[in-house]
């Protein structure tokens, strides 16, 4: 059985969530997905290098979930979630069953538990104006996303997204692939590798690394990691999240001052248990770009910058 890890330095499709809707009522739907993999998915990408800018309309659900139209092989009119927190792209099982393609068994880390999945290779894949060939996708049941009001056929993860700079305009609802104009935008250094996209954040005056995850709305932190850094955080309640791997026990908390690039972020966060073993040892959690209260968010992989405008 092939083993993968969806998050950072492990073989698994990191599934940390696709967003969450946190409320005082004490319950939220954790839809964050981070796919870690010891061996990154090898997608040979074909993209029109002559096009400097490629804008394409998107749909925004719950104020943060980014959905674009695409296709897999001959199946047109599919919906894909753009998720920088997913290190590998994936497809829903019901779509994968339309293809008579060999599958491999694999295992992914979903927060604090291992989840058995399959993977398959598709000959052609498009998402918005971009296309790729011979792409290996993870296969899983994505139906739990319907609770957030969206039904998607797949997820476009960092393995494909990092091939080009791109900008998401939440206000005008479009995504632009190609060159990134950064005039007038706030910017912080960004560290990107084959499976992780992270930025440095200050928590109570201490520096931590957080994964930039367009698939989550709130700030999600590993409880045991921040306990070693700060003692003055306040638990406000317990709740239960739900993700690809099932139930995720979590807590709602208020942490000390949280800052990115000299700008304050919301101090209310979701705390979850870190996965066991040497998984994401230097990462404290996941940061949703929407927490920046930005109208536009850009990812510049050439200059290694995260940019945004409010």
17-40+53-178 has CATH 2.40.70.10 classification: yes
Q: What is the pTM of this model?
A: 0.82
Tell me the fold of 186-309: Cathepsin D, subunit A; domain 1 (2.40.70)
**Spans of all domains in the chain:** 17-40+53-178, 186-309
- Confidence at residue 13, expressed as pLDDT on a 0 to 100 scale: 29
Residues paired with residue 239 on neighbouring β-strands, in sequence order: 250
Run of H or E residues at 121: strand 113-127
Q: In a structure prediction context, what are the per-residue pLDDT tens digits for the chain, which is 310 residues long?
A: 433 434 322 222 233 333 333 333 333 333 344 443 333 333 444 444 444 577 899 999 989 999 999 999 888 999 999 999 888 899 998 888 887 778 888 876 665 556 778 889 999 999 999 999 999 999 988 887 776 778 899 999 999 999 999 999 999 999 999 876 677 899 999 999 877 899 999 999 899 999 999 988 889 999 888 887 887 889 998 876 666 656 677 889 999 899 999 899 999 999 988 877 777 788 999 999 888 888 999 999 999 999 999 8
- Give the DSSP letter string of 213-268: -TT-SS-EEEHHHHHTT-S--EEEEEEEEEETTEEEEEEEEE-S-EEETTEE---E
| Backbone phi, psi, residue 80, to 5° | -125, 140
Taking the alpha carbons of 172, 295, 293, 150 in that order, is the dihedral positive or negative?
positive
Task: Judge if 17-40+53-178 and 186-309 fold alike in CATH terms.
Answer: yes
Give me the pLDDT at residue 111, please.
53
Q: What is the pLDDT of residue 245?
A: 59
What pLDDT score was predicted for residue 244? Answer: 61
DSSP-derived 3-state class of residue 72 = strand
- Which one-letter DSSP state was computed for residue 148? G
Show Cβ contacts of residue 37 under 8 Å, excluding neighbours closer than 6 positions. Answer: 4, 5, 6, 10, 11, 12, 13, 14, 87, 88, 195
């Amino acid at each position: 059985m092939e083993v993968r890890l969806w998050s950072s330095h492990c073989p698994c499709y990191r599934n940390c969530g696709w967003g969450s809707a946190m409320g005082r009522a004490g319950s939220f739907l954790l839809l964050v997905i981070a796919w870690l993999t010891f061996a990154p998915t090898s997608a040979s990408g074909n993209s029109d290098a002559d096009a400097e800018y490629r804008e394409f309309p998107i749909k925004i659900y719950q104020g943060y979930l980014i959905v674009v139209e695409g296709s897999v092989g001959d199946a047109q009119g599919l919906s894909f979630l753009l998720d920088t927190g997913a290190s590998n792209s994936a497809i829903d099982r019901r779509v994968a069953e339309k293809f008579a393609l060999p599958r491999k068994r694999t295992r992914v880390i979903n927060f604090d538990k291992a989840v058995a999945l399959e993977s398959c290779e598709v000959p052609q894949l498009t998402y918005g104006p971009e296309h790729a060939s011979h792409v290996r996708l993870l296969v899983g049941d994505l139906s739990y996303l319907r609770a957030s009001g969206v039904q998607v056929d797949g997820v476009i993860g960092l393995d494909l997204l990092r091939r080009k700079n791109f900008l998401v305009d939440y206000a005008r609802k479009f995504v632009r692939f190609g060159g990134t104009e950064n005039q007038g935008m706030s910017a912080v250094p960004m560290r990107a590798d084959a499976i992780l996209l992270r930025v440095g954040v200050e928590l109570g005056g201490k520096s931590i690394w957080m994964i930039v995850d367009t698939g989550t709305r709130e700030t999600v932190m590993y409880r045991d990691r921040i306990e070693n850094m700060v003692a003055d955080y306040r638990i406000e309640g317990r709740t239960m999240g739900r993700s690809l791997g099932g139930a995720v026990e979590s807590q709602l908390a208020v942490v000390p001052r949280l800052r990115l690039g000299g700008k304050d972020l919301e101090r209310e966060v979701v705390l979850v248990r870190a996965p066991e073993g040497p998984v994401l040892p230097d990462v404290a959690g996941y940061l949703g770009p929407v927490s920046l209260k930005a109208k536009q968010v850009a990812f510049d992989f050439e200059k290694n910058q995260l940019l945004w405008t409010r």
